[in-house]
Structure 1
Amino acid sequence: MALPPAFLDELRARTPLPSLIGRKTRLAKSGRNWKGCCPFHGEKTPSFYVYDDHFHCFGCGAHGDAISFVMRSEGAAFPEAVERLAAEAGLEVPRPSPQEAARDRRARDLHGVMAAAAEAYHRRLFLPEGRQALDYLLRRGLREETIRAFMLGWAPAGRGALMADLRPEGVTEEQAIEAGLLREGEAGDPPRDFFFARVMFPIRDRRGRVIAFGGRILGDGQPKYVNSPETPLFRKRMGLYALDLAREGAFRGATVVAVEGYMDVIALHQAGFTGAVAPLGTALTAEQLEELWRLSPEPVLCFDGDAAGARAAARAAEAALPLVSTERTLRLATLPAGEDPDTLTARGGAAAFQAVLDAARPLSESLFGLIAEGRPAATPEQRAALRNRLTGAAGAIADKALSAEYRRILLDRFFAATRQGQGGRPLPARRPPRPAILPAPIRAERARMLLAVILRHPWLLTQVEEALGLLDLPDGPPAQLRAAILAWHPAAERVDSEDLIAHLKQRGWEDAVAWALSPAGLPLAARAEALPGEVEEGFWHFFLRLRGEAELIEDQQEAQRMLAETNDPAAQRRLILLSEALDAVRRGEAAAGASGDAA
């Protein structure tokens, strides 16, 4: 009697492969994976790689999971290997009763039923009766090879059509009902098809076995999409569409990205984004997040750029916070308004969606906006309520050190926001009037302040590198120092202030560094002890004073024209950057609290 697949899946999930295999061979971290010398053949150069759920040797071809590793390395039979691993994982190996044995046989039979149904639906798509559905898919931009790769199909409108295909395969009505392909008849009526007159999307588990279907109606009928009911094979909250394909894509280095719909996933795979998946008609669940993290420690969640997308992002963040850790987190990406991945790739190709992925922000940067969006903070009561929500969100993180970091970041943003006046405008600075200063010295002094912030806090470059490159700085030390900093950053092993300053001095820029860091008038943001929120505010304060709102508006309009004419991802990235900067100026975030502006 074979063991239940659910038990074996849990056993594999509870057995960390690096620690198991590390008992037999020395492993070293290699990116997000591990590598070492193969324990199954003598080698001096490591070619043995360990991933989240399997190992592979590129030398001898050894490949498998935790169970097969124990069998191969210790000469154990399958039951013995399972017993050993189960004892370590704290699991009890199931001892099947006759009823469980019968249920296991039915489950294996149901996989065969679902495979036969997928073949039948797929075959009908290419018959005359499926022509309308096939034309619909082709009009949506799918190539025939993509349609065949995803086994898309057509459920005809005629009653009994599916069973006519399945009976010759030995499938009974009782099996079709249990698999969710038929629904029970009412008042003595015969069973009827669950799906009819719909484009069919097979849903597979991580092993590639068909476990359910999604069906889309043609035209404007409702509901637009229907999924299979819950069955012995299918639990909607547990799976992801295209999980089996994304697993292979992630293994080959693709970015894992969760989008909204089946067509979005298929369009992205066709465009080369083979790590794309989608939830099955529900908001992302904790179980689905766990599946994403099995593929990647930092998957991207991609949302529409409208109010519904913001709400979906907030729900996903709420579900994720209790589960994030120092080893697994999320990035959030927002699509341009009015676009989804399907339409975006159809119009702009792979480069357009790659620009969206490149602009994805870590959860830690996005969380404040997700919580504060649409919540007024004009009164003490409203501000206290918002602060409680922020600290509550950070407190949901189980890892105490990580929770403290999130709390610090969120409160930094909160205190910066509460320094704003009514309507989001900065409170006026109370400073004595200053004598007029010539424009050139003003620009040089502001450039010095901005560069001093970067010199003391070069970690900020990961966020503002492109913005810094956009500025028209004065000739001489400002422009030269900026160029030297931007040249250092891509190859830096450690992004910290001491390394950056030492590097610049070695390259002959000691005088320029001394000029930038001369203490007269330096803002709080350029001090080593400045908090991250103060550093960001200070940078944008001087950036926007050097650039100006009018110039930003012109830049934004020009970037919009360039994107429309060229569809260049660099143009889209520039547009996103400029829009964020302009939005910051209008919210007043950039100018608040940047005390010490000498110009």
Structure 2
Amino acid sequence: MSRVDIVEVIQPRLPLKKAGRDYVACCPFHAEKTPSFTVSPAKQFYHCFGCGAHGTAIGFLMAFDHLSFVEAVEELASQVGLPMPRLNEAAHPHRNLQACLEEACAFYQKMLAQSPRGKRYLAARGIGEAIIERYRIGYAPPGWDTLLRALGKDQERCRQLVEAGLVVEREGKRYDRFRDRIMFPIHDPRGKVVGFGGRVIDEGTPKYLNSPETPLFQKGTLLYGLHQARQAGPSLPHILVVEGYMDVIGLAQHGFPHSVATLGTSVTRSHIQRLLRTAPKVLFCFDADAAGKKAAWRALENVLPELAESHKVGFIFLPEGEDPDSWVREKGPEALTALLENPVPVSEFFFDALAQQVDMDTLEGRAQLVELARPLLSNMPQGVFREMMQKRLARLAGLESLALEKPPARPPSRAARQEHLSPVHTALVLLLHKPALARKVEDFSALGELRLEGMPELLKLLELLKQHPHLNTGAILEHWRDTPHEGFFLHWAQKPLLIPEKGIETQFADTLNHLKALHVEQRIESLLAKAERADLHDEERRELQDLLQTRIKRKQRDRTG
């Protein structure tokens, strides 16, 4: 990535115009007349302020040219003149786990082909051979060690089966995790099998059993059926988020291939970011009962911070007791299509749900509505939609106008307008804008003791840049691709840097000094608290004296400087 210039990658495909330090164009991923697509040579990163599309040179080629990850890397290697062979996927650090999971998937498929019981269940649910093959559905036999005997050829392989979550090891004994279940392989964005969901055939419990968390399988970032949805056509008109694997399968059987499901968890912020990057319209389908409304609200809370004007998000509520699979089988595809064409908009669901919690006929109730809505709307990105939501709230509350944030007592400085970021987030934004700053950080191990939001990720970034000091922003983001940290670093890389270029190093140094001072104060408090309970050791007393001296010197510098 250090040899790639993102401007040279995008320019032949999309005419760019110079605008200050960056380049702009009309976004290729949504219709617009005023350019909102920005390319940053400094960050080696693109971002559209209209639809939210963003990424690196690799990501652009994957989205614009519809290339796979491997194909995009090879295209870039060719462009910069590197004689790069096809990527050796066997060099993946978790290749053994992936091999186990792939073998297990093939094994379960083979068992389904030999199981009248499994085939009868799927036939009764109306699932045909083509869908079974597309989603690689299988069957785990009822025996306690069928998979273990088939794949556990030696002790090392048995250990890998345990690590992959396919086999349970307890009190020195090993047995298959999945038994007598219809098996749904779960793929990562590159189409690799990373885990499984198993559905019981009879009335046993749990109804669904998922793989445990592994180095390859993180439920909060993966979506069942997303890989198949992407394969259904060159562009996705929408994505429908449902609650169960059988809903995804049943909808695909009836001509709705763009459905996905979470893996037994609520919809997370990471899910939302992935969905909005994948399709221009995202619809959530839930039951209309209390549990369904609660799940829909949790999804909405994670949608709001990611919602740009061009994003279309809606909610569909089925009658109580119905699910998408049963609905489409009983009512037919036309009934579901009608629901998809008339979803409940975000704004309507948001205000209706909050209004049900208060008495809108009283001043007190309307004031409570404002207090409930204000923090949620404050999390929305700046833009027209946020302003319209704000005005709608004012009308409902009977106010002429409404400010989401209290105005500052005096105009903030240019640096302060950086969204009032915390010191940790300020350091992240500065590092992602100018990774070379990390070379000035000699020792950051003590910062790990600070219990601050974003600190684990900041330490990961500093460690990465310590090991690879020449990485640019684009290369950093590619390092985190398809990991649980991808959305986090993409989010902070998008933040505009309002500090003048010549002030970046000073701001970064000041931010680090502030974090070190916080660590000193935290450690002093810890030692003083311990001293109240028991005597300190000699080493701890010396440490406390040194820390107090450090505090005094810092305060003297602050007064004089």
Task: Confirm or deny a common fold (TM above 0.5).
Answer: yes
> Corresponding residue for 1:26?
14
Q: How many angstroms does 1:264 deviate by?
A: 0.5
Taking the aligned partners of 1:53 and 1:370, their CA distance within structure 2 comes to 39
On the 8 A contact 2:366/2:396 being kept in 1, the answer is no
Deviations 1:76-121 (A, max 9, x none): 3559xx9xxxxxxxxxxxxxxxxxx9x9655112111101101111
Which of the numbers 70, 76, 80 marks the counterpart of 2:76?
A: 70
Q: Which has the higher contact order (CA 8 A, sep 6+)?
A: 2
Which amino acid letter does the alignment assign opposite residue 207 of structure 1?
R
Runs (5+) with no aligned partner, structure 2: 16-25, 33-58, 400-561
Q: Check conservation: 1:301, 1:332, Cα contact below 8 A.
A: yes
Residue of structure 2 in register with 1:309 after alignment: 292
Q: Which moved more, 1:155-164 or 1:70-79?
A: 70-79
Instruction: Determine whether 1:132 maps to 2:117.
Output: yes
Separation in 2 of the partners of 1:277 and 1:399? 29
SS of alignment partner, residue 127 of structure 2: coil
Provide the residue aligned with 1:388 in structure 2. 371
Residues 392-423 of structure 1 deviation map (CA, whole Å, 9 limit, x = unaligned): 2211213255432221123334449xxxxxxx
Are 2:63 and 1:54 aligned?
A: yes
SS at match of 1:343: helix
2:208 corresponds, among 203, 225, 228, to 225
Contact 1:390 / 1:407 at 8 angstroms: preserved in 2? no
Cα pair 2:358 2:368 within 8 Å, conserved = no
Q: Aligned pair count?
A: 362
Counting only pairs closer than 5 Å after superposition, residues 343-362 of structure 1 correspond to structure 2 as 343-362=326-345
The equivalent residue for 1:492 is none
Residue 117 of structure 1: aligned partner: 104
Map 1:206-225; keep pairs closer than 5 Å: 206-225=189-208
Cα distance per residue 1:42-95 (max 9 Å; x no partner)? xxxxxxxx97833439xxx9997653443233323559xx9xxxxxxxxxxxxx
Distance 1:67 1:172, change over 3 A: closer
* Aligned partners of 1:67 and 1:78 also within 8 Å: no
Counterpart position of 1:177: 162
> Equivalents in 2 of 1:376, 1:356: separation in Å?
30
Q: How has the CA–CA distance of structure 1 residues 341 and 226 changed in structure 2, closer, same or farther, with 3 Å as cutoff?
A: same
| Matching residue's letter, 2:139 | W
Q: Give the residue type in structure 2 aligned to 1:165.
A: A
Change beyond 3 A, Cα 1:26–1:230:
closer
- Identity among equivalent positions (%) equals 33
Q: Indicate yes or no: 2:159 matched with 1:150.
A: no
How far did residue 381 of structure 1 move? Answer: 2.8
Name the amino acid aligned to 1:138: A
TM alignment of 1:191-202, pairs within 5 A: 191-202=174-185
SS at match of 2:182: strand
Deviations 1:195-253 (A, max 9, x none): 11221111111111110011111222221111000011100101000111112236344
Amino acid at match of 2:137: L
- Once the two structures are superposed, residues 543-572 of structure 1 have per-residue CA deviations (whole angstroms, 9 ceiling, x without a partner) of xxxxxxxxxxxxxxxxxxxxxxxxxxxxxx
CA shift for structure 1 position 272: 1.7
Matches of 1:279 and 1:293 in 2, distance apart? 15
Within the alignment, does 1:161 sit opposite 2:146 as a pair?
yes
Structure 2 CA distance for partners of 1:111 and 1:343, relative to 1, 3 Å: same
Conservation of the 8 A alpha-carbon contact between 1:203 and 1:241: yes
Q: What pairs up with 1:7-46 in 2 under 5 angstroms?
A: 21-27=9-15, 29=27, 32=30
Q: Secondary structure at the match of 1:322?
A: helix
Q: Look up the SS of the partner of 1:390 in the other structure.
A: helix
Q: Rg: which structure is higher?
A: 1
- Cα distance in 2 for partners of 1:213, 1:316 equals 23
Contact 2:266/2:295 (8 A) holds in 1: yes
Identify if the C-alpha distance between structure 1 residues 313 and 266 changes in structure 2 by more than 3 Å, giving closer, same or farther: same
TM-score, normalization by structure 2: 0.58
Cα distance, 1:336 vs structure 2: 3.7
List runs of 5+ in structure 1 lacking aligned partners.
Answer: 1-7, 35-49, 83-100, 417-599
Partner-residue secondary structure (3-state), 1:299: strand
The equivalent position to 1:328 in structure 2, one of 277, 294, 311, is 311
Which amino acid is 1:23 matched to? Q
CA distance in 1, matches of 2:175, 2:158: 10
SS of equivalent residue, structure 2 residue 305: coil
Q: Is the 8 A contact 2:252 2:259 kept in 1?
A: yes
**Residues 133/365 of structure 1: CA separation in 2 closer, same or farther (3 Å cut):** same
Could you tell me the TM-score, scaled by structure 1's length? 0.55
Query: How far did 1:372 drift?
Result: 2.2
Cα distance in 2 for residues equivalent to 1:68 and 1:235? 28
Q: What SS is found at the alignment partner of 1:251?
A: coil
Shift of 1:263: 0.5
Q: Amino acid of the residue matched to residue 120 of structure 1?
A: F
User: Which whole-Å deviations, capped at 9, do the CAs of 1:159-198 have from their partners, x for residues lacking one?
Assistant: 2100222146997110100100011121x3x211111122
Q: Counterpart of 2:354? A: 371
Say which of 229, 233, 238 aligns to 1:255: 238
Q: Report how far residue 360 of structure 1 moved.
A: 1.2
- Conservation of the 8 A alpha-carbon contact between 2:237 and 2:279: no
Change (3 A) 1:65 1:145: closer
SS in 1 for 2:321: coil
State the match for 1:477 in structure 2. Answer: none
Per mean C-alpha deviation after superposition, the further-off stretch among 222-231 and 395-404 is 395-404
Shift in Å, 1:260: 0.8
One-letter code aligned to 1:163: L
Cα 1:26–1:236 change in 2 (3 A) is: closer
Correspondences of 1:412-491 after superposition (within 5 Å): 412-415=395-398
Change (3 A) 1:259 1:169: farther
- 8 Å CA contact 2:112, 2:139 repeated in 1: yes
Map 1:544-559; keep pairs closer than 5 Å.
Answer: none
- 8 Å contact from structure 2 (residues 355, 369) kept in 1: yes
Quickly say closer, same or farther: Cα 1:33–1:213, change in 2 above 3 A.
farther
Map of 1:276 onto structure 2 = 259
1:353 partner SS: helix
Partners of 1:327 and 1:106 in 2: CA distance = 38
